Structure 1
């Protein structure tokens, strides 16, 4: 994939590379970056745009810890540890964005839909995340088709599931109890009759979920074959 070889990135930076010769509508690009920024915040980071380069179109982002991040203590250490923590946080954000954009893993999330719209409507051949760790293709016409099919499946689910999906997809929280069955953790949203397996990612992955405890979570509710398949948790707090 033709990514600019002259793109210089720090260890705490990455770029969204849009393969296009015609540019992108500002509102569509803004919506995409806003939703990517939300994923970064859910992973305890702040994503700041520091450069936009032409050629095709490269939007360069720099990652810094969020003032609300639980890992703030790492950044109070010496410069060597600070640099390592910044790199680790950047890797976590890239991983979170990649997973949220994958319809196979997370369904038709707001970020995935924004990216699909850019590819479908803005003459963009593909979108790639570029970093020192390598390049990751996150959207092209084939993936956009998967997003649309996942969106149709989501619209076909029962109202009980759709309500919870809409609530969490719009940036809200789901509250409910965690239970353990056959060694796996499940989340039962308050006011709903089903329990869904928990798939905690990145920052939330290390959170010690206690069976029987009540939590407020953010992320995405994945539906497959008209049934809850997984609750992809990006942030969780007890309460």
Structure 2
């Protein structure tokens, strides 16, 4: 066999082992995919076919390690094409006609993909933006719904509460009292900032009168609080944010 230098469509070069007598070519791993169709024609022109029919070998051996070659099967190989490969070194042997048919099929497949991709963009190009849009739409809808629900709860709570009073007992103690139109279980959600809120039970059983004395507060500190109501059906309603400032 003779080493023949061939070029790729990308401008690279590599060598294949070509038999000018039988027309077969030996490719090292992955080289058969790199060789372009026009180089197949060049190899065919270098072949001098014998006038007499050559007896076909019963067993083909790898030219590199003498390992028996076996038929290569795969989705990329047409049924009418016979390629032999070495499972040890992964090289491939292709007869002239089989190499011609294989590369022709390969080029047709690539061309069909290129044409299709021009008219039909990849699924991910369409699918990903659509999924992202739907996700953002669902998130926005959920957020708006939650905000609307919270607003409705605050309106409902404010409409049920009256006579809210905060009385300073000392620098670290404050009482909160209010009334409700009907009996509610109640609590106060309180803290020096929206990130440090704690819930304190005011009425642990339904009552129209609510009062709690909060101790352990910091003097000269502004506290935020909300009042939370819960009815007999376990529905909760929270008021708008309110505040008081402890005395020195």
Using the size of structure 1 for normalisation, the TM-score is 0.22
